[in-house]
Structures are given as C-alpha cells and as structure tokens.
A and B are shown apart, each in its own frame.
Chain A
Amino acid sequence: MLSYPTVRASLLFLAIAVAGLFVADIAITTANPWRDLGQFFIGVATPNFFSTEGLLTALLRTVAFGFVGVALGSFFGFLLALVYRLLPVRIFCAFIRAIHELFWALIFLQFFGFHPLTGVLAIAIPYAGIFAKVYSEILEESDPEPSRLLPPGTSAIASFLYARIPDCWVQIRTYTAYRLECGLRSSAILGFVGLPTLGFYLESSFSQGMYSDAGAMLILFYVLIATMPIWVRPKLLPAYLLAAPFFLGEGFPIVWGNVERFFTEDIVPSPLRNGEGLAGLSSWLGDVMITEALPGIWNTVVLTQIALVATGLLSLLAFPLISKHFTGPVRRTSGHVFLVIARSTPEYILAYILLQLWGPSMLPAVVALALHNGGIIGHLIGRQTNTIELRPDAPAGFTRYSWELVPRVYRSFLAFLFYRWEIIMRETAILGILGIYTLGFYVDSAIQNIQFDRAMILILITASLNIGVDVLGRYIRRKLALQTMPTC
C-alpha cells in the first residue's frame, strides 16, 4: 500500500493534522454545550416565521445581491477569461479571488459605507477572478477542430462565437448556475458585517438566543437554495437580472471624497503618513508581523490542515449515505437531505452557530469546515459511485466499502480534497472574525481600531497565503495526476 503515492500523500497530511491537534486550541468551553445545542434544535423544530418584519425583505435582498453580484462577476470573469493566457491577468485573477467576499465587504464598507455597491462588489470581484479561471479552463478544453476548419479570413470573433462558445455553452451555463447558488450563500453571510441580507437578522436573533427566529431564517434559506431549479429558469433569468438591481435596498449615497481618502490616506502605513520615513516603516512592519501576522498565519495554517483532514474523513464516511451500493431509496433520500443541508449552510454560519453553542476554540471551526466541505465532497463522490456497476457477486458491507468502492473513487476524492484546500484556507482565515485567532481575527481587530493600514497589510498577507496554498495544491494534484472539475 505504501508504494502508492496517493496513499503516501494521504498519510503525510494525516500526520500533519494529528501533529496540529497537539498544538491547536481544541476545547468545548461552554458549561452546557449539549443543552444549548438541544435548545437550538428545538428552535429549528419550532420555527417562528413572523418574528422580524424584515425577514422577507432580507430574503429578497439576499437573492438580489446574489444575482447582481454573480451576474457582474460572470460578465467580467468572461472578459478576463479571453485574455487569461497573459501572465499579468492570471496573477491579477489569482489575487482578487484569494481575498474572501467578507474581506472585500469590510474594505468597501470603509468608503462606500452602506451603499448597495458594497455588497455587489464584494461578491462580484472575487467571483470574477474565479469565473475567469474556470471559464478559461472550459474554453481551453473545447474541441479545437471546428475552428481549424473555418475558412481562412474568418474573423477571430466570429470563429469564437461559432466554433468555441457553442461547444462550451452547456458547461458554462451549468457552472454559472452552480456559482449562483454559491453567490446566494455569500450574499447571506454579508449580513454578518451589516449589509441588509439574511445574515444580518440571523446574527441578531442568534446572539440573543432567539433560536426559533434563527431556525425560521435557516429553513427559509434552505428552501430558497433547494428550490432553485424551480425558480431559476433560463427564460426567467433576464427578468430577474433586470429586476434584481431594484431590490438591493436604499443604502446611502456614495461620497467620492471618502473613496479618495481611503486610498490616499487610510491605507498608507501610518509611519509614512506621519513622515517617519523608511526607518519608521520597517519597525512598524516588524511590529505587525510579530504581533499579528505570524500568530495569525500559524493559527490559520494549523486550523486549515486539521480541517482539511477532517473534511476528508467526513467525506469518506458520508458518501455511502447516498450511494446505491449501500442503501435503499428511502435511506438514500434522507442521506441526500443531510448532505444538502450540510453543504448549503455556509461554513461561516455553521461556525457561528457552533461557536455560540460550544464556546470559542478551534473545534467549532473544524467541525463547521468539515461539515460543509465534507457535505460537498461526499455528495460528489457518492454520485460518482452510482455510476459504478459492481459484479453481481461483489462482497457486501464494509468489505464492499473498503475493497470495491473506496479504491475506485480514491483518486477523485483526493482531487476534490486538494482542490478545496485553498477554499478551506480562505474560509479558515475569515472565521477569525468570529473570534478564533486566525488571520481574520487580526484583520477585524485592525478595522475595529480604525487602523486600515494594518488591516490592508494583513489582508494582503492572507491573500498571498491563499495563493501559495493554491499553487501547492495544484502542484500536488499534478504530481499525483489527479483531475477534477471545479467546486465552490
């Protein structure tokens, strides 16, 4: 077994995660975690849909921000995809997608304030970076033969429209629709920093222990996501897109002076602003690095590695839930429901809920990341096993699991896992806003102290860390010859 590179890689990551457990802060610090969890489930079971007058508006805003953000993101992402082979474009896209939606929102809040543009751009910018990458991959994989056959002298655009786009259209559409679902999740969590989406009310009711209100919002959110195939129809899309901008809410007018001030003063490192020169700058930078960046990076990396392995283990445990080789249709349906809930709940909301219930430590974050990401990978792998035909006399039970199925899906399992490595790290960093000492904690602190120069440096460090893991993940996937389709 040890001669397989995939097995060796898995064991190496497992060992790193186990080592991480020894240095990580893993604890349940609440006195009655199970009572609180019980109360939460009772709340979900007895939802109160009429608590907040703004609930329906919030739901509408969540959809509107999601639509406008994803639409703009896909438009600009597509344009970028056309020139994606240029190195500066690739670097630019890697950079903008390495910064989480919530960080973008926190940045825009400082100068656009509560203007709808803040929420729209917070989704559109990172999504444009992701769209650019995935669209360009899809375009690259299209059959090159038809364009070779076109009469010489055909314009590049006509050739693109006829020979490239139609071939990729279905894939582009499927992926965009899939991202729209992600966009709704992103839109919902923007409420946690004050935009008028679902997260705003969820945070309020949750922090005040109003679990029935919170339960109602979660249920509405699941229904919204689960019914997407019904209400998102190609024919209705233009209508949605035209209407969505009108549902973003009122907000406040933008004062352009604030924008200028942000870029020319706020984010300029304070030693430079105060004329202390390069000497001042280097001691300032040293201070940021030692007191904030390094502890933040350390915690982010440790938490990411633990969460990555936990995600892997959970996916391997979860996929039989929806695999036809293990369960009948009835149990499979409940398996589907579980996985849909796990993957539709943004990890930020899961982590927030668990933090409230179990108290602050890395544990709630690990569980939240594992549930969400494990739900996604478990779903994909489970679906993949359903295309496998086993011989009639194949063993049953655990032997079937360990001898027949896991070996067949292990490579794609690893591919998905390494693909999500960077996503897990991006989320890990952002969970710091909730009070875990990852990079997001220090970014949030700097913003709370109105030190945007520090916040900016820390966000840039977070972005570089994400890019680094992205590159490493791709290197490992290439090294192990793993292939995958993008997930979000």
Chain B
Amino acid sequence: MITKQIRKWLVSGFLTLAVATTASAQTFVFTAIPDEDETKLVERFRGIADYLSEQLEVDVRYIPVKSYAAAISAFRNNQVQLAWFGGLSGVQARALVPGSEALAQGIEDQAFYNYFIAHKSTGLERADELPEGVRGKTFTFGSKGSTSGRLIPEYHIRDRFNEAPETVFSRVGFSGNHTRTLRLVESGTYDVGALNYKVWEKELEDGNINTDDVKIIWKTPGFPNYQWTIRGDVDERFGEGFKNKVRQALLDLDDPALLESFPREGFIPASNDDYEPIRSVASELGIID
C-alpha cells in the first residue's frame, strides 16, 4: 500500500522534473504585479498566455507572484521576459534592466486616475480637492510598490497637507492591493483609502460595492500608469523581430472578454519617456534613488 503510494509519487516527481526541463528550454514567461485578487489575475493572464502563445508560436506561461518587488526581481533576473507593470514598478524595472522598454499601454493608462474613498461613518463628502476632514482619520494605501495605491496618493497627500501621511492620519496601513483597500474601507477597518479607479468601477459594475457604506471623496488628476514592459534581449533569445511581434500581438488584442478582464478598451503603443512624470514623483518622494 505504502510502497504503491511512493511509487506513484516518484512517477509524478519524475514527470514534474521532465516538465521542468522542457519548460526551461524556450518558454516565453511573463508576470504581472499582484494589484488585485489573485483569482482574477490568474484567470485574466492565463487567457493572455493562451492568446500570446497562439500569436507568437512559442510556449507562453504566466507566473503569479506575491509582491510588486517579486515581479520586478523576476523581470530583472530574466526569469520572466515580459511583465504587466504599474507606472512605478515599470520605471523601477526599466531602470534595473538596461535595454528594456515599455511596449504598450491601455488606452486608459495615458491618463489614469485614483479615487480617495471614505467609510460612511466619517461623514466626508465628495469635493474638488482632498477634504481637510481626512486629517486624523485612519488611512490605507494599497501595496507599498503600487503607483495608484501608493505613489500618487502619497504625492497628493504631501502636496495638499505639506506633511507626511503618518502625521496627517492617525494610522497608516498597506492593504496589499486595490480590492482589499476597497473591502477594508467598506467594512470600516480604515476610514479612508486610495485606489485605482478601474478597480472601483469594475467592482461597482459587478455589483460588489455597497455604496451606502463607502463613497468616493476625491478624484486625483491624471497620470500615466500600467504598461507592458519587455526585456531588451528577447530578440537574441527568441529570434529577430520577436519584440515587435509581441508588441503587435498586444496592439492587435481585440478579444472583448480578455480586454474586459483588465478592463481596458484596447492597447496602444507606449514608450519609456511616457513615464517620466512617474519617475520624477518617485524620486521626489525618495522611493527611487
């Protein structure tokens, strides 16, 4: 009985090993920053992997990671060649990998914006600037490495109050991602939070937000955000013109279900220079050296 079990395990172990060797041969691997619930990400990017695999005629695999930094490290270490980064993580990654470039961004990513949201108990109302009333409340960012969850909100908080978030608010936390920021403010764990408008609108559309409990109090000005970034050395590894093929495949993506899962209207070309505003804000806040 036990020996049979072991034999079964051994066999499946060798199978995994076999998979490992083939996977490392010529698989094009990509990742994405974990900015939303993992189930959603896996569903979305498995679809992308299938699509790219078909278009590029190579094996394409998506690997989920647990943090923004892990996505950047995997990209930097050449364990993934392509990544769906946020504005900030893209800037950080491209600074670390010479020759890498922003390939494509969502149409909405040219002028992305954030919502500051508040729990009903705060009594805060929507305003044209971040309300003075947030002072002394508890506040949550998204992930530490997030553009719309951290960088942009922190920039605007400092800009508005001329103080660090820790002194403006009575408690500052990092929820981990946008979905969680929404849930934590909705449940009243935090009074105020900041999140990516796309996540808000998608959840609202899907009927997942109780608007009696949580409401938008401020919308930030626009900034460039998410983009596909690719390593500079993919042509050497996957053949001449591979980078352009990837770009073209992304720009051609018109499957409504896939686009809806992001959600984006479609993808347009992007360049490294598009993200200069993000770089300068990050450098001002001391997040990058």
Q: Which residues of A contact B (CB under 8 A)?
A: 25, 29-32, 36, 60, 109-111, 113-114, 192-194, 200, 203-204, 207-209, 236, 239, 243, 246-247, 249-253, 255, 258, 270, 274, 359-360, 435, 444-445, 447-451
Contacts and interface: CB of A to CB of B under 8 A. Distances in A.
B204 interface: no
Interface in B224-267: none
Given A25-B171, A109-B73, A255-B77, 10 more contacts: A30-B187, A31-B188, A113-B74, A193-B66, A193-B67, A203-B66, A243-B10, A247-B9, A251-B20, A252-B24
B51 to A, nearest CB: 21
26 contacts: A29-B189, A30-B188, A109-B73, A113-B73, A113-B77, A113-B79, A114-B79, A200-B66, A204-B38, A239-B6, A246-B10, A246-B16, A247-B9, A247-B13, A250-B19, A258-B76, A258-B77, A359-B184, A359-B189, A360-B171, A444-B144, A448-B69, A449-B69, A449-B92, A449-B145, A451-B289
A460 to B, nearest CB: 19
A208 B16 CA distance: 29
B72 interface: yes
B83 to A, nearest CB: 13
A29 B289 contact: no
A324 to B, nearest CB: 35
Nearest to B176: A207
Contacts of B184: 359
B183 interface: yes
B117 to A, nearest CB: 15
A383 B20 CA distance: 47
Interface residues of B, number: 53
Interface in B165-198: 171, 173-174, 176-177, 179-180, 183-184, 187-190
Residue among A32, A110, A200, A246 with max Cβ neighbours from chain B (10 Å): A246
B28 to A, nearest CB: 13
B72 to A, nearest CB: 6
A435 B173 contact: yes
A194 B67 contact: yes
Given A246-B10, A448-B143, A449-B288, A114 B63 contact: yes
B289 A270 contact: yes
Nearest to B63: A114
Contacts of A111: 77
A451 B95 CA distance: 13
B116 interface: no
A31 B143 contact: no
Contacts of A203: 66
Given A114-B74, A194-B65, A250 B20 contact: yes
A243 B13 contact: yes
Contacts of B43: none
* 8 A-B pairs closest in CB distance: A31-B188, A246-B13, A250-B20, A194-B66, A448-B144, A252-B79, A204-B38, A30-B189
A283 B6 CA distance: 58
B45 interface: no
A445 B20 contact: no
B43 to A, nearest CB: 12
A110 B174 CA distance: 22
A60 B65 CA distance: 20
Contacts of A444: 144
B78 interface: yes
B68 interface: yes
A57 to B, nearest CB: 9
Contacts of A30: 187-189
B9 A243 contact: yes
A385 to B, nearest CB: 37
B152 interface: no
A447 B24 CA distance: 27
Contacts of A253: 24
Given A208-B38, A444-B144, A450 B69 contact: yes
A252 B65 CA distance: 13
B70 A207 contact: no
B72 A450 contact: yes
